[in-house]
Amino acid sequence: MSSTRDLPAPSRPASPDPSTRRDSPQDHRDFLRTPPQNLEAEQAVLGTLMSSTGASERYFAETLETGITADEHYRPAHTMIHRAICHLRSKGEAVDPVTVAAELTERGELTRAGGVTYLHDCVQAVPTVANGAHYAEIVRAKAYRRAAIESAQKILQYAYSEEGDDDDVRSLVEQELTAIAAGMPGLNAAPPAVGDLYLDYVAELEEIQEGRQVGLTYGISDLDAVTCGMRPGNVTVIAAASGVGKSTLALNAAVAAAKTGARVMFSSLEMSSTELMQKIVAAEGELALHHLTQQGGLSPEGWKEVERLGRELFNTLPLRVYRPDSAALRDIESAARACVRSDGLDVLVVDYLQLVEVEQHRGITREQAVAAVSRGLKNLSVQLECHVIALSQLNEDGQMRESRAIKNDASVVIKVERPDMDEPESPRSGEVDLVVEKNRFGPRATVSAAAQMHYSRFIDMAQT
């Protein structure tokens, strides 16, 4: 990170007029100290905003989503730069050191903001734009401390002045403390009372009872009936041993929900985008998967079906496929938020939990790491008001690998079992059991469906 020693010295509060200052036990040197600030974090915020283009565009929005404003910068030059950046953004123009310099020049502020060289210094001061939101939180935290100090000073000065009566003092104290509490970063309003929730609940209940509001479909009607479908703010865990078909079920559910208009993102850490497209085409076109993966396997009629799917399905299907460069949870979260900003997000699929990585600290166990991923996805479903489908591997003993927290965070847990996996001659060959082990919206049950693995799909038994 570049040094800030070449920057102008920060202005200090003016010393009180000795003729008006009253003696007090409080050492007045406290009022002369430099207020809390982090100039390097401020530079990093501005640098992030001026360099988040192309593939890094999402970091611009994530930084501003922290709620940071121009006035929260300690250095006036940074306030000017921040305002220029936001003005350019509001006009839909590109934001980089050149355009920001032009905007500051038009405002007559370029020299006071440090000049063109300083704008480039801010960009060079950014360790990584992916941490822009974190830098912004640092700046906001320092701004909040300065605001707290300012409020305390007002209270002290008024109290020492002996002006007004006790009610006036009490009123000022309440006013300042309320204002500073309301401005606390991340502070939420008081939760609503049940009386405020009742009317909305009754309206929603009427929708449910009259069949006008149901959760998003999994693509299996009996499974929808048992679980009431997929609802925002909840997590469904689909668990299975390797090769049983958990990815197939999740991809089927993603496509089925998208076909109803739901906006879906399928994040795969296991399969490539090509493999996912092959599975969707096989399932929707009833084309044998091996015909799509082998040279010369597709007939002319098959090609016509592929072309039809392009025209009638893929051109309008609101399904996004995300193949992250790394397996980090923060990358999946960033992509999901980018979907929300673009056109919304109703369902997020993560394939699969044990492959997702979190920032690990010394001493953290693998079980704790997977638990952190599970909790992170649950929090994301609430924050983004979307439904999350998280896939999980099962051990040989049928238990979810490495973490009991996965089941605790889920609203619905579905285990996928195929009788013909261990017994090829089973009379139930070609069937799959979807065992609903946990269900916050209804009973636990086992739903049977047809397993057409050559088409990479599970369908209702009635469709066979």
| pLDDT tens-digit map of 308-332 | 999 999 999 999 998 877 777 878 8
Per-residue pLDDT reduced to its tens digit, 19-47: 444 444 444 455 567 889 999 999 999 99
- Burial per residue of 375-399, b for 16 or more beta-carbon CB atoms within 10 angstroms, e otherwise: bbbbebbeebebbbbbbbbbeeeee
- Domain parsing of the chain, residue ranges: 28-182, 221-463
Q: What's the pLDDT at 162?
A: 78
* Whether domain 28-182 has CATH 1.10.860.10: yes
Asked whether the beta carbons of 229 and 213 are under 8 A apart, the reply is no
Q: Mention every residue, 6+ apart, whose C-beta is less than 8 A from residue 10.
A: 34, 37, 39, 74, 75
Structure confidence by residue, pLDDT tens digits, 110-160:
999 999 999 999 999 999 888 999 999 999 999 988 988 888 888 888 888
pLDDT over 80 at 241, yes or no: yes
217-227, pLDDT tens digit by residue?
999 999 999 99
pLDDT-above-90 percentage for the chain: 45
CA separation for the pair 123, 104 (Å, rounded): 16
What are the residues whose beta carbons fall under 8 Å from the beta carbon of 232, sequence distance 6 or more?
Answer: 346, 381, 385, 386, 387
Q: What confidence tier does 189 reach under pLDDT thresholds 50, 70, 90?
A: low
In this prediction, residue 7 carries a pLDDT of 39
- Residue 11 pLDDT: 39
* Highest mean pLDDT: which range of 25-29, 193-197, 283-287, 337-341: 283-287
- Out of 3.20.20.10, 3.30.365.10, 3.40.50.300, 3.40.50.620, the CATH code matching 221-463 is 3.40.50.300
Q: Indicate the pTM of the whole model.
A: 0.63
